[in-house]
Chain A
């Protein structure tokens, strides 16, 4: 989260990533990110790339702050009875 804040410099990002790597390393659940590659310099590079992807995900519209209430007024009325869609709309004089 701190990495995704505006105004974070490249040096601060590198420092935060180093701290994150050291924090995560002993954790059981993120071993796939830290321990799969045994050569440390390479492992850190892959970890950095994964963190960049996570930051990119976080900034995507899918994770933008959510509205508490979703406006469903544009949704069609739900029905269990089948009906024929009028789309595209039939031109005048032409039967569907």
Chain B
């Protein structure tokens, strides 16, 4: 993928794909390390987190990564549940390309924004709004 595509500024977690690549690098190639090309628009916070966590531990599951991410984006446990659903739905959107999935993600993120202080959550939510 060309990392310079302007479209890459949007939240695009690629969790399942990342897990597969990380496990392939570990099990098939026996790589000692991996290198990532990191663009840094703030709304790509999730993408970067997923990549770097998998680079450090390829055995992580989607559930574990999404739980960690939700904990970083939202402080309140009830909001973390909603954020987890949003991340999983966003992950599904990049496979399905269904507008309804993206609209659901947008509503879920916007729903928790007023009660949360995280700027990363705000940036991710804004990125999804633009994408919708």
Interface residues of A (CB under 8 A from B): 1-2, 5, 20, 23-24, 27-30, 50, 53-54, 57-58, 60, 62-63, 65-66, 68-70, 72, 78, 80
Contact = CB atoms under 8 A, between A and B. Distances in A.
A70 B20 contact: yes
B131 interface: yes
B82 interface: no
Interface stretch (B48-56, B73-81, B90-98): B90-98
Interface in B1-49: 1-2, 5-7, 16-17, 20, 24, 28-30, 41-43
Interface of B: 1-2, 5-7, 16-17, 20, 24, 28-30, 41-43, 94-97, 99, 102, 122-123, 126-127, 129-132
Contacts of A1: 99, 102, 131-132
Contacts of A5: 99
Q: 6 nearest interchain CB pairs?
A: A57-B7, A27-B126, A78-B29, A57-B5, A65-B97, A29-B123
B132 A2 contact: yes
A62 B2 contact: yes
Contacts of B5: 57, 60, 62
A68 B5 CA distance: 22
Given A53-B6, A54-B6, 18 more contacts: A1-B99, A20-B130, A23-B129, A29-B126, A30-B130, A50-B6, A58-B7, A60-B5, A62-B1, A62-B2, A65-B95, A65-B96, A65-B97, A66-B17, A68-B95, A70-B20, A72-B28, A80-B30
Contacts of A24: 130
A54 B7 contact: yes
Nearest to B129: A23
